[in-house]
Structure 1
Amino acid sequence: MRSAPQPGTYNDMNMPTEQAAIMAEAQSQATQASYDKSDLTLRDRLIEAGILIDTGEDGLYGRSAIFEDIVERLNQAITLLGADQHAEVLRFPPAMRRRDFEDSEYLKSFPNLAGTIHSFAGNDRGHHRLLEALDKIVHIGEGEERSDEWMDQQKPTRLVLTPAACYPIYPLVAKRGNLAKDGATFDAFSYCFRHEPSIDPGRMQMFRMREYIRVGSPEQVMAFRQKWIERGSLLVRLLQLPFEIDLANDPFFGRGGKIVADSQRAQQLKFELLVPVATPDRPTACLSFNYHMEHFGELWNIRQADDSVAHTACVGFGMERTTLALFRHHGLDVKAWPAPVRELLWGNADPIIADGLANMGEEA
């Protein structure tokens, strides 16, 4: 069983984050609430307080005004943290072209998480059958299973739900031709979908992801990932949340998935910043730091200035998960949160971020 991490600790000594580790160890102790039975009902407490709104479907929630305000304040802090990256800001809807999705090989690795978009494609007779089938089920009680017969004439559209905010970026970069010598950096923010219903509030089916994406040479993207491991750690320390950074792998599907996952871990391609959210013994990945090597460069034929295949990396901020972590560790009353956290979110975050970067040896 994994023990609860102390504020800003690391449990993988092989990871390339010496500076981040030193900073984490030097930080003042963040207030850490005791773990009790209430940890197991965080979702219920959030719903009872009106912070999350229960839709009746596991992993699908409405959000209150205060929840959305925190997400927006976090988003602003992340923007300040990445201001010097001079990233091209791109925003896409939570759907992408099916052709690009097919080319991404997402279905090869995560077919169980994908969400496709279907629409009615029948005629008048088909519409009549649809209404007849629908009429049979609309009076069935909430706890009873409904037939999906009315969906018989739903056909796939040319769209799918976006699985990660960075996915629409890669085909776009490829269409632009060869990269400049210093590569390219992008800033993406989108709702994403993954089909994994759960009562764990940290595992939503629809959630938002803020990402910085780096495209270029192996040296450029690895330096980028290292920088963001340190900067992501800085942000979470400023939020006074306990965390650890650990080597990780994606949840690849099927029997062959374990081999791929083992390879990903062996090459240290993915690290996650973990914070206890729903339960203390199973911390939740609130940030991820990913090096894709030449995978996306080869899939979409993204070329560097010298015509070699480009490498890519990204840092992903889980906006809902980080917000949930704040409620988990600082309480449901935001007015009672620690003063430094409130100043970061609702005060003047600019000098706080600048000082944090300066203490890391960086300039804001």
Structure 2
Amino acid sequence: MNMPNEQAALAVAEESAHPQQPYTGSDPTLRSRLVEAGILIETGENGLYGRSEVFEDVVERLNKVITLLGADQQAEVLRFPPAMRRHDFEDSEYLKSFPNLAGSIHAFQGNDRGHHRLLEALDRTIAVGDEERSDEWMDQQKPTRLVLTPAACYPVYPLIARRGKLAEAGAIVDVFAYCFRHEPSIDPSRMQMFRMREYIRVGSPQQVMAFRQKWIERGSMLVRLLQLPFEIDLANDPFFGRGGKIVADSQREQQLKFELLVPVATPDKPTACLSFNYHMEHFGEIWKIKQADDQLAHTACVGFGMERTTLALFRHHGLDVAQWPAPVRALLWGDAAPMIAEGLASLGTPA
């Protein structure tokens, strides 16, 4: 499927992606420096961290700036917990593509006898101390009707479908949620529990393509204001298994996914801090989401990795937020509205 508009969007973003400061190489010590400074708190499990007040303050202020960036979208604001209905998750086909990343929720659902067996198994587990422990006690756990949410947009599509046919203008939804992906790593930008802020567009192919092009430009503008070096690149999702490469190649060929990449911690491999995704009619077909003319709806989304972008700020501006560049501090701790309005005006978007 040829998508010339995306070539134009990519060109615009790349032309404006000049770093505000020189990038001097990778920073494999970022994780240890953040932990030593108390900005991230180790839990003993790779990819699972506590966050300090300083870290959370940056996330909150970044989130407010993103709200300003999308204020003209007239999006419906929805907030979901980090779990979703298993029925919807099964329908989403996530397990077909990413079974290794999914997380299900189990709980004890037995009787007194089962509880006794659980406690006996737990005693044996704890008795080994700090050695590698068995998961014997989990034999008494059973799946619940919930799974951990893999992406902030996933609860939205079945909700939109249950409302019936779309209006002519389609729909735009603003979501923010904790997500889970089972990929333990010592790279702090690859957390197992992380937050995503997303704008989701549901409508005609023309509507969703225009939406994605707009957000490639806006996302690039935001990261320039944050004075982070970046590039926009064609990308693919990490599809699982032997057939995954075929699906990934198809995704690239159809230019369905672009990422905004910022050097964070991984040597020679910048991190995707924002993603711009066109799903075509994939979710429309799964949940029978219809446009006003009864055609299957297409969908697109822009996703902001909140932890990743925050980590990028610490990586490039230092661990003392009081010493960050004045324009960045003005954006995050000052009155960001005029700066965002000026940036949107430079893109040809009315303030």
Provide the residue aligned with 2:169 in structure 1.
182
> Which of residues 201, 204, 211 is equivalent to 1:214?
201
Provide the residue aligned with 2:342 in structure 1.
355
Provide the residue aligned with 2:58 in structure 1.
70
Provide the residue aligned with 2:3 in structure 1.
none
Provide the residue aligned with 2:145 in structure 1.
158
- Whichever residue aligns with residue 295 of structure 2, its letter is S
1:129 equivalent in alignment to 2:124: no
C-alpha distance in structure 2 between counterparts of 1:230 and 1:33, whole Å = 22
Instruction: State how many pairs are aligned.
Output: 346
Displacement of 1:129 in angstroms is 1.0
Provide the residue aligned with 1:5 in structure 2.
none
1:113 equivalent in alignment to 2:101: yes
Displacement of 1:140 in angstroms is 2.9
Is the partner of 1:17 in helix, strand or coil? helix
Is the partner of 1:24 in helix, strand or coil? coil
Task: Quote the RMSD (CA, aligned, Å).
Answer: 1.3
1:52 equivalent in alignment to 2:40: yes
Q: Is the 8 A contact 1:23 1:360 kept in 2?
A: no
1:22 equivalent in alignment to 2:15: yes
Is the partner of 1:152 in helix, strand or coil? helix
1:346 equivalent in alignment to 2:333: yes
> Which of residues 13, 19, 35 is equivalent to 2:25?
35
Q: Is the 8 A contact 1:15 1:247 kept in 2?
A: no
Is the partner of 1:212 in helix, strand or coil? strand
Displacement of 1:251 in angstroms is 0.3
Larger mean Cα displacement after TM superposition, 259-268 or 278-287: 278-287
Larger mean Cα displacement after TM superposition, 111-120 or 130-139: 130-139
C-alpha distance in structure 2 between counterparts of 1:363 and 1:22, whole Å = 21
Provide the residue aligned with 2:249 in structure 1.
262
C-alpha distance in structure 1 between counterparts of 2:11 and 2:137, whole Å = 57
Q: Is the 8 A contact 2:108 2:141 kept in 1?
A: yes
1:228 equivalent in alignment to 2:218: no
Displacement of 1:137 in angstroms is 2.1
Q: Is the 8 A contact 2:201 2:300 kept in 1?
A: yes
TM-score by length of 2: 0.96
Is the partner of 2:29 in helix, strand or coil? helix
C-alpha distance in structure 1 between counterparts of 2:24 and 2:256, whole Å = 34
Displacement of 1:126 in angstroms is 1.1
Is the partner of 1:279 in helix, strand or coil? coil
Q: Is the 8 A contact 2:284 2:298 kept in 1?
A: yes
Provide the residue aligned with 2:300 in structure 1.
313
C-alpha distance in structure 2 between counterparts of 1:277 and 1:361, whole Å = 31
C-alpha distance in structure 2 between counterparts of 1:164 and 1:170, whole Å = 12
Q: Is the 8 A contact 2:125 2:136 kept in 1?
A: no
Provide the residue aligned with 1:149 in structure 2.
136
C-alpha distance in structure 2 between counterparts of 1:304 and 1:363, whole Å = 28
Displacement of 1:275 in angstroms is 0.4
Q: Is the 8 A contact 2:10 2:232 kept in 1?
A: no
C-alpha distance in structure 2 between counterparts of 1:249 and 1:33, whole Å = 25
TM-score by length of 1: 0.93
Deviations 1:118-153 (A, max 9, x none): 0012211111111111111224333x2101110101
C-alpha distance in structure 1 between counterparts of 2:7 and 2:230, whole Å = 17
Q: Is the 8 A contact 1:19 1:360 kept in 2?
A: no
Is the partner of 2:17 in helix, strand or coil? helix
Provide the residue aligned with 2:276 in structure 1.
289
> Which of residues 195, 220, 228 is equivalent to 1:241?
228
Q: Is the 8 A contact 1:242 1:275 kept in 2?
A: yes
Runs of 4+ off more than 2 Å: 13-25, 31-36, 139-142
Q: Is the 8 A contact 2:158 2:287 kept in 1?
A: yes
Is the partner of 1:198 in helix, strand or coil? coil
Q: Structure 1 stretches of 5 or more lacking a match? A: 1-12
Provide the residue aligned with 2:72 in structure 1.
84
Deviations 1:328-350 (A, max 9, x none): 00000111100000000001100
Is the partner of 2:34 in helix, strand or coil? helix
- Whichever residue aligns with residue 238 of structure 1, its letter is L
- Whichever residue aligns with residue 64 of structure 2, its letter is Q
Displacement of 1:33 in angstroms is 5.4
Identity of aligned residues (%): 79
Is the partner of 2:274 in helix, strand or coil? strand
